[in-house]
Structure 1
Amino acid sequence: MPAFAKTLLKIAVSVGLILLLLSKIDTAAIGRQLAAADLRWTLATTALFIVSILLRTVRWKILLDAQGVRVPYLRLSRWYYIGAFFNTLLPTGFGGDVVRTVELAQYSRQTPSAVGTVLLDRFLGILVLLGLGVVAIPLSRADIPMSLYAVVVALFVLAAGGFALLRQQRLVMYLRDRLLGLLPGALRSRVERLTWFRPLYMALQGYERRILFTALAASLIFNFDWILINMLAGLAVGIRLPAADYLVLVPLVSLALLLPSFGGVGVRELSYVGLFGQLGVPGETAFAMSLIVYAATVVTGLVGGLLLLEQTLRPQPTSRPEPEL
């Protein structure tokens, strides 16, 4: 499907989901909820969201340092904020990854390492997210369908299994040769041209197990920070749920945001309304909570936009090494 058609489809999905939600809940009540929202908790949500980018940067720097790619922490965090800006503009949550890859490749002049570390950074985040879902769903008070849990478990097993397999270089080469040998010539040629996974595979070969576990720990800390962000947004609209409920529901919301949509719009709101509604939160309140989280996302993106503007107005030679911070 052409890229333009995919974008139109994502927009249609987002618009359709929003219209569906608005037809079932009281839009005036959403406005009242937002007007009555506690400004202190709303500002705290936004501030913590902005700071959360710095936690993500830690994971990325761990991976880069292990590869011998020395980039100052503040420069990496700047690229992450700029990536967040593009995530708010582009119809996918992966637009920022492209920006980070380009910036890092230009600075380090090591394109394979740039692509590999950005892909691995994203992959480790998703792996931890799936792991949290596997652990949290059985503990949930919400009525989570077993079919959904089965999907989460299957995705986690595939991701963890793929992660472990890609670390076994000889086994991967053996399986590749054997499987390619079973394919007819034309199909084999097409498969051999599939190169999207190679940067991730090559990146994994260069890391000690200790480094990967450290990066996974950084991902776990970020996800707990993300849960806290949602708790603050809930407090802003008067939701009083135990932390354990957020521990279960927030990873599920994050997983839903991986589904195709325009910047998560529609999917995000439907997830909040559907999941928090299971615990007795009115749909209007859950919708208002999702808007506060989205507003924090947009503000964080605007921080990245300001950094991009400053970088554009005062360009600096990105290839020149800088002292470590």
Structure 2
Amino acid sequence: MENRRMSVPETESVAPEERRKRNLLLVIRFLGSGGLLTYLIWQANPANIWAAWQRADPWLIGLAILIQFLCIGLSALKWGVLLHTHNQQQPYRWLLGTYLIGQFANNFLPTSVGGDAIRIVQLGRRINNYAEASASVFMERLTGFLALSLIANVALLFTSTNLFGTRLVTDATLTLLALGFGLVAIMAVVVSFAAPWLLGHVGRYIPNAVRKPLQKIADAFGIYATDRGTMLKAMGLSVLFHLLWISLHYICGRALHIDAPLLLFALMVPLTDIVGLAPIFFNNLGARDLVFTLYLNQIGIATSTALALAFTAFSIRLLVSSVGGLVILFGGRR
């Protein structure tokens, strides 16, 4: 009886402690993003940002919105390609709707992975295999990260050598971050492909109750290592996605009358996405604005215009991802 009395308070204290940690992290993210963003806006003068918006070309903004929809469509297509490796043929309409719901969660919830969890749960229920669902969503993300790091590092090489007439100064921290992100992405791919082999060597040290579900996930990852055609298609779609994402920002820049080379956007947009993965930022807020300001200031673009560009791209992302909310409301229980 004594042991039972002692175990109850210990069990009850775990949940509040975890909630406090999550709440603290949430506060840190809001303070990190909100504090940096407030400082940049104060430095630029909100009136100047509004003036830059008033000069925007609505037709080019409309084109950028269409490109954002195309980006999501490509991502859903890549997800379907990866599922083919597991002989899971899912209707594109369902993949697109589920992806839109995931985007809605990512952009309107205080997390950047909530949408991935939703996709895993929805797909896992549909195919009755959560291991394959998890592997497909993870690989969809991972190929995107690999393409992102590739473009960022190539752009860093070109802009640091003046090879194309656009020499930019990049802080050493950002350079190391881009290189480190690329190495981590490559290592993650290698580990994923080697998951069955790794688990075979360390599996005997893992309890049986844990080893069985891990084996299913490892086998799901291992299948991708044997399907080079699918992985090449996924990487091609990932590169195309990021090129379109960069073009979206370039078009937004032209809409705001920013005369900047495309190569500059090919550098600062991927770097923004990499920096924004840090847990102190909420949905890239603050990170995007800081990176845009650092690079556009170098070619004589005012901070207010740089912030107007960042806000425009973010607003387009929110607008398109809000369609996922409509899917939730009117798409039915399925």
Q: TM-score range with shorter-chain normalisation?
A: 0.7 to 0.9
Q: Of 310, 315, 322, which aligns to 1:302? A: 322
Q: Of 50, 54, 57, which aligns to 2:76? A: 57
Q: 1:290: Cα distance to partner?
A: 0.8
Match of 1:38 in 2: 57
Q: Encode CA deviations 1:230-260: one digit per residue, 9 max, x unaligned.
A: 0111011101222222222221112122122
Contact 1:92 1:264 in 2 (8 A): no
Moved more, 56-65 or 275-284: 275-284
Distance 1:158 1:266 in 2: 24
Contact 1:46 1:296 in 2 (8 A): yes
Structure 2: gaps (5+ residues): 1-17, 160-166
Structure 1: gaps (5+ residues): 181-187, 319-325
Moved more, 245-254 or 200-209: 200-209
Aligned alpha-carbon RMSD (Å): 2.5
Is the alpha carbon distance of 1:272 and 1:199 closer, same or farther for their aligned partners in structure 2, counting shifts above 3 Å? farther
State yes or no: 1:155 paired with 2:181: yes
What pairs up with 1:233-312 in 2 under 5 angstroms? 233-260=252-279, 261-311=281-331
Distance 1:55 1:277 in 2: 33
Is the alpha carbon distance of 1:276 and 1:198 closer, same or farther for their aligned partners in structure 2, counting shifts above 3 Å? farther
Distance 1:170 1:221 in 2: 30
Q: Of 22, 31, 34, which aligns to 2:41? A: 22
Distance 1:203 1:18 in 2: 41
State yes or no: 1:69 paired with 2:95: no
Q: 1:88: Cα distance to partner?
A: 1.8
SS at match of 1:206: helix
SS at match of 1:291: helix
State yes or no: 1:135 paired with 2:154: yes
Q: 1:171: Cα distance to partner?
A: 4.9
SS at match of 2:282: coil
Contact 2:203 2:211 in 1 (8 A): no
Contact 2:199 2:218 in 1 (8 A): no
Distance 2:316 2:23 in 1: 28
State yes or no: 1:146 paired with 2:172: yes
Distance 1:53 1:255 in 2: 19
Distance 2:65 2:211 in 1: 40
Q: Encode CA deviations 1:95-117: one digit per residue, 9 max, x unaligned.
A: 21112112111222111111111
Match of 2:9 in 1: none
Match of 1:172 in 2: 198
Distance 1:193 1:276 in 2: 50
Q: 1:274: Cα distance to partner?
A: 1.8
Contact 1:117 1:200 in 2 (8 A): no
Distance 2:214 2:39 in 1: 37
Contact 2:272 2:284 in 1 (8 A): no
State yes or no: 1:206 paired with 2:223: yes
Contact 1:119 1:199 in 2 (8 A): no
Contact 1:166 1:204 in 2 (8 A): yes
Match of 2:163 in 1: none
Task: Write the letter of the residue equivalent to 2:31.
Answer: A
Contact 2:196 2:215 in 1 (8 A): no
Percent of paired sites with the same residue: 24
Contact 1:120 1:203 in 2 (8 A): no
Distance 1:245 1:51 in 2: 22
SS at match of 1:51: helix
Contact 2:250 2:265 in 1 (8 A): yes
State yes or no: 1:220 paired with 2:239: yes
Q: 1:195: Cα distance to partner?
A: 11
Distance 1:287 1:278 in 2: 14
Match of 1:110 in 2: 129
Task: Write the letter of the residue equivalent to 2:291.
Answer: S
Task: Write the letter of the residue equivalent to 1:263.
Answer: N
Q: 1:278: Cα distance to partner?
A: 2.6
Q: Encode CA deviations 1:27-79: one digit per residue, 9 max, x unaligned.
A: 11001111121111111111211221001111111101111112101110011
Match of 1:82 in 2: 101
Contact 1:167 1:204 in 2 (8 A): yes
Pick the structure with greater CA Rg.
2
Higher relative contact order (CA 8 A, sep 6+): 1
Is the alpha carbon distance of 1:196 and 1:7 closer, same or farther for their aligned partners in structure 2, counting shifts above 3 Å? farther
Q: 1:148: Cα distance to partner?
A: 2.4
Is the alpha carbon distance of 1:174 and 1:153 closer, same or farther for their aligned partners in structure 2, counting shifts above 3 Å? farther
Q: 1:174: Cα distance to partner?
A: 6.6
Distance 2:216 2:136 in 1: 8
SS at match of 1:278: helix
Contact 1:115 1:199 in 2 (8 A): no
Q: TM-score, normalised to structure 1's length?
A: 0.86
